[in-house]
Structure formats: C-alpha cells, structure tokens
C-alpha cells in the first residue's frame, strides 16, 4: 500500500510515494538518494542507520517512512555546513576514529547529538552515548578520544 509523504531532509523539502512497509532508512537511501545512513542490522542493534528525526537521534531502520510524514530529518550528509566539516567529523579524521567507515555515519550523528545535550561529557558518558552504535574495527578507543577532542574544539569556539 502506497502513501504520498513530504518531509525535509537536511533542510530540503522532498516528496515521495512510499510503500507503508518501507522504513525511513529505505526511503532515505533508495528514494531520496541519501546513502550515508547504512543498514547494518535492520533491527535497532547497530546504529549504522542513525539519523536525527525531529531533533532526536533514532534508528532509521525502526521507523516506517509513513511515520516521518512532515518530519525534519538530518542525515550524515547534512552535518557539514556548506563544505566545512563539523568539529566531530574533523576530530574523527584527525584521531583515526574510523577504519572501514561503515559505522561512521551513525557515530557522527550520535556524537554530535551527545555534544549538543552535554558539551563536556565524561568518558563514561561518551561510552554510554555511543553504546547503541557498534563498531567492529576500532575497539572504540579512538572514537572516544575523537569525541573528547571534538568536545574541546567546540568549547573553544563557543
């Protein structure tokens, strides 16, 4: 069963005809061409599909596209402002916080959301905030350090 929906993705309005069975992740990837969010599990366990939906990080694989009608969505593609990388993205690059990079779009979204609600998180707070994001390559060490560095960079600019 198809329904027409409208939604804003990274500030741009989009319209799509979606199957009710489609997840927001399917629609973002295959209808709207935002391949940044990844499907690692389809079940809310890995966080590779993390996007911001109306201001809150969610697993796009656990939202039906029809539920997102009228919503504002931010994907990893919308994080860098006009070609300038966000401090979280910059820190991930500088601190070697990614290897295969498949998990990275999800981590960037979780890390950015964390720093927005808590600009100076402790190490346990960082680890808790990214516990819904699996990374199999890095052992998390450099991801945690990158988020610490991003937190410092942001507090200096603020």
Ligand X SMILES: Cc1cc2nc3c(=O)[nH]c(=O)nc-3n(C[C@H](O)[C@H](O)[C@H](O)COP(=O)(O)OP(=O)(O)OC[C@H]3O[C@@H](n4cnc5c(N)ncnc54)[C@H](O)[C@@H]3O)c2cc1C
Which residues of the chain form contacts with ligand FES (CB under 6 A)? 39-42, 44-49, 59, 61, 98-103, 135-138
| In the complex, least distance from residue 103 CB atom to ligand FES, rounded to whole angstroms | 3
Is residue 111 involved in binding other proteins (CB under 8 A)? no
Contacts 24+ apart (CB under 8 A), 120-123: 120/151, 120/155, 121/147, 121/151, 123/148
Chain residues 11-70 in contact with other proteins, contact rule CB under 8 A: 19-21, 23, 29-30, 33-48, 50, 53, 56-59, 62-64, 66-67, 69
| In the complex, least distance from residue 109 CB atom to ligand FES, rounded to whole angstroms | 12
| 81: Cβ contacts below 8 Å, ≥ 6 apart | none
* Nearest alpha carbon to residue 50 among 111, 107, 106: 106
Binding to other proteins by CB under 8 A, coded x per residue (else -) over 126-145, reads xxxxxxxxxxxxxxxxxxxx
CA gap 103, 98 in Å, rounded: 8
């Amino acid at each position: 069963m198809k329904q027409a929906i409208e939604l804003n993705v990274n500030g741009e309005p989009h319209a799509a005809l979606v199957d009710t069975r489609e997840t927001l992740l399917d629609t973002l990837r295959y209808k709207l061409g935002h391949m940044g969010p990844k499907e690692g599990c389809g079940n809310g366990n890995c966080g590779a599909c993390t996007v911001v939906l109306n201001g809150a990080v969610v697993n796009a694989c656990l939202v039906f596209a029809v539920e997102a009608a009228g919503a504002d969505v931010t994907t990893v593609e919308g994080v860098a402002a006009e070609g300038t990388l966000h401090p979280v993205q910059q820190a991930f690059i500088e601190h070697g916080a990614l290897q295969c990079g498949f998990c990275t779009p999800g981590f960037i979204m979780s890390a950015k959301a964390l720093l927005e609600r808590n600009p100076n998180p402790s190490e346990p707070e960082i680890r808790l905030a990214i516990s819904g994001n699996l990374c199999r390559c890095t052992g998390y060490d450099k991801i945690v350090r990158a988020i610490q560095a991003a937190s410092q960079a942001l507090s200096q600019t603020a």
